[in-house]
Copies of this chain bind each other. A is one copy, B any other.
Amino acid sequence: MSAGTPVFLAACRREPVPYTPIWIMRQAGRYLPEYRELRAKVSFDALTRTPQLAAEVTLQPLRRFALDAAILFSDIMTPLQGMGVDLTFEPGPVVREPIRSDAAIEALRPLSPERDVPFVLESIRLIRAAAPRGVPLIGFAGGPFTLFCYLVGGRQSKQFEAARAFLYSDPDAAGRLLERLADAMAAYLAAQATAGAQALMLFESWGGLLAPPQFEQFALRAARRTLAALRSCGVPLIYYLNQGSALLKHLATIEADVIGVDWRSPLDEVRRVLGGLKAVQGNLDPAALFAPPEVLEQEAGRVLHEAGGLPGHIFNLGHGIWPHTDPEAVARLVDVVHERSARAAGAR
């Protein structure tokens, strides 16, 4: 690790680190009383669109815990509002007119981040100015297929039937919509990097709903289009795939430095399947934060052990932290990960 490189960024690049860095998906959110207090006064939508508030929420967990990265407080659907999609949060995103026709696809305007989501870029500048030294900021966007699920389906559903049926009933139109989304997310993430994001992450929450051929043809192709366009940004790229246990081998050559996985794929198997060229991020079961302290410690140790040592592992949960989690458990987890991994590093 070069002197001064934050531990998180070094780990993304599989460089030597003194301990395993940790951050937590949804670390800024409802499990924190200070978040709930703010949220009681301001709508979710307003929180994401007001730079001072988005920055404040982003920074809240960093005041409590020795986390190794910050992640922009925003929603994966936010840039779609900028593309002309009429959507509300109730509290999950609801698209008033689901996109299922060529005309609706053509009507989506390309994203121009400075014009369409200036408040996101301003949030990033505010966070960078205020974040603790050595704690880099991760920018993010939804994976194109994940956004597609909401746009075609209109709202969250267990199986995203409408979106998945659309892939089979009109694969050409589906491909066109995915390309538009891929290009928009590339522009969005590139602008985030320009504004100061030091790593970029694609959240593919629903790609794991697809059978392998459809995953390759649709979700993966679109994600690769986004990631390939971001290579020149020079910041680490992270691709998180939920429910992706059957799909990991398809990720070995994706244009990302880091692959994030959920709690169901043991990290030793993930590393074996991916080969040696990716860092891995994850993957404690969010439910483990409800265990007694000694069990939580064991479970964290198991994840560290399965990851096979420090270089190229970023500790995280396998999914977003649950709203009822006790912040004390998070404090314990962060300390355990740092202490155990530092001890293991020292023992070499």
When the two chains form the complex, which single residue of B159, B243, B290, B324 contacts A322, counting CB atoms closer than 8 Å? B159
Number of interface residues of A (CB under 8 A): 38
Which B residues lie within 8 Å of A324 (CB)?
Answer: 161, 165
The answer to the question of A175 belonging to the interface, with a C-beta cut-off of 8 Å to chain B, is no
Contact B287 A167 (CB under 8 A): yes
Is A165 in contact with B287, judged by CB distance below 8 angstroms? yes
A231 CB contacts on chain B under 8 angstroms = none
Determine whether the beta carbon of A290 is less than 8 Å from that of B165. yes
Which of A158, A164, A295 is packed against the most chain B CB atoms within 10 Å? A164
Looking at the assembled complex, report how far the CB atom of A305 sits from the nearest CB atom of chain B, in whole angstroms. 12
A209 to B322, CA, bound (A): 15
A33 to nearest B CB, angstroms? Answer: 19
| Shortest distance from the beta carbon of A167 to any chain B beta carbon, whole Å | 7
Which residues of A from 269 to 289 have beta carbons under 8 Å from B? 269, 285-288
Complex interface: chain B residues within 8 A of A265 (CB): 246
B246:A208 contact, CB within 8 angstroms:
no
For the complex, give the distance between the alpha carbons of A213 and B212 in Å. 25
Determine if B213 and A290 form an interchain contact, defined as CB atoms under 8 angstroms apart.
no
Asked if A104 is an interface residue, CB under 8 A from chain B, the answer is: no
Contact partner of A168 (CB less than 8 A), chosen from B159, B161, B169, B290, is: B290
**Between-chain CB contacts (< 8 Å), 10 pairs:** A164-B285, A164-B287, A167-B287, A168-B285, A168-B287, A168-B291, A169-B291, A211-B264, A246-B266, A246-B269
Q: How far is the CB of A156 from chain B (nearest CB, A)?
A: 8
16 further contact pairs, Cβ within 8 A, besides A161-B324, A168-B285: A159-B319, A161-B286, A161-B287, A164-B287, A165-B287, A165-B322, A165-B324, A169-B290, A169-B291, A208-B264, A209-B264, A211-B266, A213-B302, A243-B264, A246-B265, A247-B264
Please provide the 7 A-B residue pairs with the shortest distance between their CB atoms, ordered closest to farther.
A165-B290, A245-B246, A168-B291, A164-B287, A245-B245, A246-B264, A211-B263
The answer to the question of A210 belonging to the interface, with a C-beta cut-off of 8 Å to chain B, is: yes
Mask for A186-226, Cβ within 8 A of B = 1, else 0? 00000000000000000000001111111000000000000
Cβ contact within 8 Å between B168 and A264: no
Q: Which residues of A140-194 are within 8 A (CB) of B?
A: 158-159, 161, 164-169
